Structure 1
Amino acid sequence: MPASKQVRALSDAQIEQFIQDGFVRIDHAFPRELAEQGRAILWRDLPCDPDDPATWTEPVIRLGYYGDEPFRKAVNTPQLHTAFDQLVGRGRWWPRADLGTFPVRFPSPRDPGDAGWHVDVSFPAEHTSADNPDYAAWRVNVTSRGRALLMLFLFSDVGESDAPTRIRPGSHLDMARYLEPAGEAGMSHFIPDTMGSGRPEVLATGEAGTVYLCHPFLVHAAQMHRGSAPRFMAQPPLHPAKPFRLARPDGDYSPVERSIRLALQARG
């Protein structure tokens, strides 16, 4: 794994916020120039004209798995690597060479059809394979098998009207308690839409170059785009190099593990 700088990317207060709220926002996590270069690559592959809103006929178009230099550099800044160490644990995550999928959202009065509250699944059921495209069969469990973090990379400026991801702070604690009875087998992604419904709602806004590092159990949702310019955001997982453990003899728990333990202890 590339060595991270010894400086702290996140303060103690930010780590505590992550444990309690399930996310932390990092401004200027990667250079704005990389966001501009990345958008140019994505526009190249979109079936519409960046200068002609009349061609923006779909509310959302998904692109993905680009290994081009702007994306590779954006996800591998020293600041982010250090933050990964702080939240997941040094030596416990795999570096990424791409940024996964980009759901590019366009201003539209149409419902995008994917705006329900959910958590992201991370591993296939026993009767499926990792290459199975049927994500209805994929699952999530209380030790977050296969996913160390959910990450939101803003490649365009995102204001309140620009379809920012909706986040329910603290919902990762509710989700941990919901998943615990299912054990290692876990559950499908069809969680109750009311999961975390008593929690406040936060919008993942920010300038291009902003990154939200989220607990894998954080309940979140897309929404309609009511602004004027397309929104470019990547939402890749950070993959674990080692499984999360909720019982460590040495007590060396990562903040991701600490939050799950906090949730389960609160259940009594």
Structure 2
Amino acid sequence: MDSVDSVLGMENVDVERFIADGFIKVDQVVPREVGDEARALLWQQIGLSPDDPAGWTQPVVWAADLTGVGPFGQFMASPRLHAALDAIAGPGGWHRRGSVGNIPIRFPRVPPADDRGWHVDSNTQRADGSWGVSRRPATLLLLVLFSEVGKDDAPTRIRVGSQRDLVEVLDDDEVRDPMQMGPIFDEVGRDRAVALATGGPGDAYVVHPFAVHAAQEHFGTEPRFMAQMPVLLTAPLAPGNRTPLARAINW
């Protein structure tokens, strides 16, 4: 990565907004046409057509990029994205991903999936290799958009500032099953404002591992293509770390 591009990219990240809100949007980590190309490949992968709504019968269809080739690799190699991650997790504070991973595609005009509860993603690996949620997260969350996502297009909902609420209810040593934490997630940050992860192809969001978020029903007309992936930190987050990730939870 070019060092000048990295510095300029870091300067364009509103770190104080991330600390306050628990997430930040990064516009155009790749040009829009790269996002369009990725979306075209995903249509091919799932065997459906943007021109044939009759085939849109499921609320969610899962696709994946497991190789990082073509436009997906351009997303993962983006200097602008890398600079944003440096600004939030600190230079050298995160591991580069080679591929995008799983990509849920949400379709309109059908009954919604029952997967829209408030939650945070698993962020801590146990000794047996399984994952859960703890007060020492080893990941942050990255959202990458491959289509237009307006307010009616099932954008991810984020409770603004909820990362500071969740850290107060987690234990230092216990790794909890997020599937058993539904009532906790429902309550954490419930009085906070809700932001919508909207944007266009090529945009991304860097999200704190404790920011409570949720999917929502698709009220628009065109399918929504968005990846949601963990980015591994080089060390679990802990008090004394002075990155924006730590400052966002008052550590």
| TM-score for both structures, normalised by structure 2 | 0.91
Q: Secondary structure at the match of 1:163?
A: coil
SS, match of residue 40 in structure 2: helix
Question: For 2:87 and 2:208, how far apart are their aligned partners in 1?
Answer: 13
Name the counterpart of 1:141.
134
Distance verdict in 2 for CA 1:89–1:222, change over 3 Å = same
Candidates 176, 192, 203, aligned match of 1:210 = 203
Percent identity between matched residues is 40
How many residue pairs align between the two structures?
A: 245
Letter in 2 for 1:74: F
- Distance between the aligned counterparts of 2:82 and 2:60, measured in 1? 30
Determine whether 1:28 maps to 2:17. no
**CA distance, structure 1, for counterparts of residue 51 and residue 112 of structure 2:** 23
- 1:124 to partner: Cα distance: 4.0
Q: Paired residue for 1:134?
A: none
Which residue among 232, 235, 241 is the counterpart of 1:239? Answer: 232
CA separation in 1, counterparts of 2:167 and 2:48? Answer: 41
Q: Confirm or deny: 8 A CA contact 2:17 2:24 kept in the other structure.
A: yes
> What is aligned with 1:257?
246
Cα root mean square deviation, aligned: 1.8
Counterpart code for 1:185: E
CA distance in 2, matches of 1:55, 1:13: 40
Q: Secondary structure at the match of 1:238?
A: strand
- In the other structure, the counterpart of 2:215 is 222
CA distance in 1, matches of 2:54, 2:103: 21
Q: 1:180-239 CA distances to partner (integer Å, 9 max, x unpaired)?
A: xx2132322133212210111111111111111111111110011111111000111111
For 1:18, the equivalent position in structure 2 comes to 18
Report the Cα distance in structure 1 between the residues aligned to 2:25 and 2:145, rounded to whole angstroms. 11
Structure 1 equivalent of residue 176 of structure 2? 187
Aligned mates of 2:63, 2:6 — CA distance in 1: 35
Deviates further, 90-99 or 7-16:
7-16
8 Å contact kept, 1:9–1:82 = yes
C-alpha displacement at 1:165, in angstroms? 0.5
Alignment-derived partner of residue 168 in structure 1: 159
- Cα distance in 2 between the residues matched to 1:36 and 1:65: 15
Q: Structure 1 regions of 5+ residues with no counterpart?
A: 131-137
1:159 corresponds to = 150
**CA distance in structure 2 between the partners assigned to 1:36 and 1:89 by the alignment:** 30
Judged with a 3 Å threshold, the aligned counterparts in structure 2 of structure 1 residues 83 and 176 are, in CA distance, closer, same or farther, namely: same
Q: Secondary structure at the match of 1:80?
A: helix
8 Å contact from structure 2 (residues 158, 195) kept in 1: yes
- In the other structure, the counterpart of 1:135 is none
Task: Map 1:97-112; keep pairs closer than 5 Å.
Answer: 97-112=98-113
Q: Which residue of 2 aligns with 1:42?
A: 42
Tell me which amino acid in the other structure corresponds to 1:207: G
Cα distance in 2 for residues equivalent to 1:59 and 1:119? 21
2:192, 2:117 → 1: CA distance? 16
The one-letter code of the counterpart of 1:94 is H
Structure 1: distance between partners of 2:6 and 2:39: 32
After TM superposition, give the deviation of residue 13 of structure 1 in Å: 7.7
Structure 1 counterpart SS, 2:173: helix
Alpha-carbon distance between aligned partners in 2 of 1:220 and 1:188, rounded to the nearest angstrom: 16
Residue identity matched to 2:233: P
**Is residue 10–residue 87 contact of structure 2 (8 Å, CA) maintained in 1?**
yes
Letter aligned with residue 112 of structure 1: A
1:87 paired with 2:88, answer: yes
Per the TM alignment, residue 242 of structure 1 is displaced from its structure 2 partner at its CA by: 2.4
Q: Secondary structure at the match of 2:34?
A: helix
